[in-house]
Amino acid sequence: MEKARLRLFVGLGNPVPAYGRTRHNVGSVTLDRFTSTKGLRFERSLSSSSEVAKDFLGRIFMKPLTYMNCSGYPVVTLLRFHKILPEEALIVLDDCTIPLGKLRIRKGGGSGGHNGLASILHCLSTEAIPRLRIGIGRATTGTRLAEYVLGTFSKKEKLAVDRAVARACDAIEMLGTSGIETAMNQFN
C-alpha cells in the first residue's frame, strides 16, 4: 500500500504579535523558521483566514490567522479547497505533556487537551491527521495552564526550545520527503 504524501503543513499559534514568542506559538515559530530556510514567504489567504506559502514541490505551508482555539475552520477550508485528505496534512504544535525540547510524531489520535488541535479534529470529524508535537514542558505547581502556555520561555528554556525547533525543521523535511514512519523512527 502506498503511503500518503504530505501536502499541507500547518503551524499552530495565536496570530497576535503579543503572543509571538509564547510557548503556545512554538508550532507557528517552527513553520516560520522552516519556510525561511527554504526562501519561502507567507502571503495572506483571504479565503481561508490564514497565511500561506508554497514551495516548488507544490507543498503548502499554513499558519491560521484565527486564535488557537478556532484553528479548525481555516485548516478545513484549505484542505477542501486544495482537495487534500487529512492524512496528507501535518499539524505542528506545542505540547505541555512532553518534556521541554522533545519531539513526538504521530499518525493520529486525540487532541491530548490541546484546544487548537481539538478544533481541527472537531471540524474534520476525524482523528486521523498526522502531528508533530514539540515539548514545552509542564507548568510548575500552582500555575494555571493558560497562564503557562501564554507565557514566554526563560533564557535557559529558550536554548532547549531553539534546538527543538531546529530538530523539528529537520523532522518536517524528513516527513515531507521520506514519510511518517521514517521520521517517527528518527525523531521519536
CA geometry: angle at 127 spanning 150 and 28, to 5°? 35
Q: How far apart are CA 116 and CA 86, in angstroms?
A: 15
Catalytic residue (choose from 24, 82, 114, 122): 24
Strands 89-95 and 50-54: unpaired
Is 124:111 a contact under the CB 8 Å cutoff? no
Say whether 24 is catalytic: yes
Residue 58 region, left (φ>0) first, then alpha (ψ -120 to 50), else beta? left
Which residues are known catalytic residues?
24
